[in-house]
Amino acid sequence: MSVWQGLLRKFGLAEANGRRAPLRVFVLDDDLQRHDWFAARFKSDQVDLAVEPARAIELLAANHYDAIFLDHDLLPEHYRNQQEPDDERTGYAVASWLADNAGRHSVARIVVHTRNADGAWRMVSLLRDAGLTAEHIPFPYLSQKIKNYWRR
């Protein structure tokens, strides 16, 4: 896909034949109900889902995406009361991989949808420092943003 095509897809613009091109969407989240939620929001698009960082990185390395949604707190990390972050078992590991491979998904909009504001800030800062388009939108506010960004 060319950079121009990626930009058109990123902003949900129509193709020459008047139909919207399907988006390629990636989601990292340990909550399977959220997987269903994302699939419903992007029902006419291709959605790839992952529960753990290793699988997420595998999919991100093999494919190009228009939209990337990352959760921070993943099982079992989500249920621990730790003072120290376990970066390798959270969405931070995926954000770190994306930052190290910034050219691969340079046209993707990356949304960190965790309710963990501290974890989200670390991820978004890392991604932005690498030149990627990233923002934190807590999950409860995500539906409206998806409608605004991708006309869903």
pLDDT the model gives residue 98: 97
pLDDT the model gives residue 79: 47
pLDDT the model gives residue 83: 57
| Fold of the domain built from segment(s) 22-150 | Rossmann fold (3.40.50)
- Tally of residues, the chain: 152
Q: CA-to-CA distance for 49 and 12, rounded, in angstroms?
A: 21
Helix 117-129 vs helix 91-100: angle between axes, to the nearest 10 degrees? 10
Q: What is the pLDDT along the chain (152 residues), one digit of tens a residue?
A: 566 666 665 565 544 444 478 999 999 999 899 999 999 999 999 999 999 999 999 999 999 999 999 998 876 554 455 555 567 788 899 999 999 999 998 999 999 998 888 888 999 999 999 999 999 999 989 999 898 887 75
pLDDT the model gives residue 116: 86
pLDDT the model gives residue 113: 94
- Closest by alpha carbon to 128, among 110, 145, 141, 116? 110
